[in-house]
Amino acid sequence: MSNTASNQTSTSRAWVMLLLAGAFEIVYALSVAGSQAFTVLSWSISAIVFFLLTLYALSVALKTIDVGIGYAVWAGIGAVGSAVFGSVLLDQSLTLPQAFWLAVIIAGVIWLKLASSEKLQPEKSELVAS
């Protein structure tokens, strides 16, 4: 029981890493788009660097956070973020139907990842307070 405090510290550190992984993933997506199929050097380097950063941050976060929940949050941040920042920074504004269907896809993948979570299975009675 004495390691409850250190568990909490590592849990919050893991969540910081997960949010960072989501932010890195947004930069990765925008860099891949900006690289113009890897013909622009600066964006290409940025894409590679942020791919590795995302992979590292995600792997650290998922040592502590449940994989289903972790992927749901990470995928949600990456997808929403790339749509929002893509429209603002790269001037790729979506039409209303496109934004609607995009929202359906993103909600679907978050729902799917949460449904894959060990911790969120309905038949398990012990809910984990985090």
Distance between CA atoms of residues 120 and 48, nearest Å? 34
Q: What is the crossing angle of helices 96-115 and 67-89, to 10°?
A: 160
Q: Which is nearer to other proteins, 20 or 54 (CB)?
A: 54
Q: Is 106 in the site for other proteins (CB under 8 A)?
A: yes
Tokens (6 digits) for 21: 């992984």
Q: Which is nearer to other proteins, 20 or 113 (CB)?
A: 113
Q: Is 10 in the site for other proteins (CB under 8 A)?
A: no
How many residues contact other proteins, by CB under 8 A?
A: 44
CA trace torsion 75, 120, 18, 32 (10° rounding): -10
- Count the residues in the chain: 130
Tokens (6 digits) for 92: 């790729």
Question: Going residue by residue from 20 to 59, which x/- string records binding to other proteins, judged by CB under 8 A?
Answer: ---------xx-xx-xxxx--------x---x---x---x
Q: Where are the alpha helices (DSSP H) in the chain?
A: 4-34, 41-64, 67-89, 96-115
Q: Is 19 in the site for other proteins (CB under 8 A)?
A: no
Give the binding site for other proteins (CB under 8 A).
29-30, 32-33, 35-38, 47, 51, 55, 59, 63, 71, 75, 78-79, 82-84, 86-87, 90, 92, 94-95, 97-98, 100-109, 111-116
